[in-house]
Amino acid sequence: MKLAPVITIDGPSGSGKSILSQALAKNLEWFNLESGIIYRLFACLFLKKNPIFSKKNLISLLEDLNHYFTYDNGIICNIIKKSFSENDIVSQEVTKVASQLATITYVRKNLLIKQRLFRRKPGLVANGRDMGTTVFPDAIIKFFLKAKLKYRALRRMNELKKKGFYVNFKNILLQIQKRDHRDTNRTDSPLEKAKDAIIIDSSNMNVTEVFKVAMSYINIIKLSSL
Ligand code: DC
């Protein structure tokens, strides 16, 4: 049986992968997976229920996490976020803890299975840090989004400001640097460009421009498969 096609978008925080992923999925009428939300949800559970980094505790929390997905014939359809507010999910504490939990191999292995269950027809656009390298290495097209640190920090600051958080640019810059370092240097599936990924530098591009560039690559694939 032929598996549903996948398009992957990886990149660091603030590179614009979530918004591109949503736009591509909408345009193609495919499903969209925001893998960072799974790590964030896990961090929310950890902070709320039992913030202890022991293996026993984390394994029990990973089991609890199963209640946060809806399944249809064994295939995950949706992530249930309603137990936590949008502000909890994007808070600086959850952001930091999600990145810390993401360094733990057995946590990643467990979440990898959950992420693969999102693959369904007609197709999936998946964004994160290791979508093209580890989770969906057979993706039909892989993008790696990057942008200068200054622009990524500005985007994150504006995003948080819109949600009503008080933010300081220097702090945001430092936090992003720390997170980049942790996400890039962990031993298990670090943030890195897949060998066959197309790099898009979004530093000086708006959302529509990035979308157009990505769609032009997707259209080439579509034409060549006719
Ligand atoms: O994309 P995000 O900022 O919502 O992700 C939050 C954290 O989750 C990120 O710092 C690292 C982790 N993560 C990961 O390790 N692998 C992914 N595929 C997605 C997120």
Whole-angstrom Cα distance, residue 90 to residue 33?
A: 17
Q: Pull the structure tokens for residue 206.
A: 């708006």
Contact indicator for 47, 93 with CB cutoff of 8 Å: yes
Task: Give yes or no for residue 35 CB within 6 A of ligand 1.
Answer: yes
Residues in contact with 40: Cβ distance below 8 Å, sequence separation at least 6, in sequence order: 89, 90, 94, 95, 98
Q: What global pTM score does this model have?
A: 0.95
Residue with tokens 């890195």: 192
Question: Ligand 1 pocket: which of 99, 111, 142, 185 to mutate (most atoms <8 Å of CB)?
Answer: 99
Nearest atom (ligand 1) to Cα of 182 = 10
Nearest atom (ligand 1) to Cα of 13 = 3
Task: Give yes or no for residue 36 CB within 6 A of ligand 1.
Answer: yes
How many CA atoms lie less than 13 Å away from 64 in the CB half-sphere? 16
Domain coordinates in residue numbering, the chain: 6-224
Residue 186: name the closest of 140, 225, 130, 148 by CA: 130
pLDDT of amino acid 75: 80
Task: Give yes or no for residue 186 CB within 6 A of ligand 1.
Answer: no
Nearest atom (ligand 1) to Cα of 103 = 15
CATH H-level, domain 6-224: superfamily: P-loop containing nucleotide triphosphate hydrolases (3.40.50.300)
Mean pLDDT per 10-residue segment, the chain (226 residues): 95 95 97 96 96 97 94 84 90 94 97 95 97 97 97 92 89 95 95 97 96 97 74
Whole-angstrom Cα distance, residue 80 to residue 82?
A: 6
pLDDT tens per residue across span 171-200: 999 999 999 999 999 999 999 999 999 999
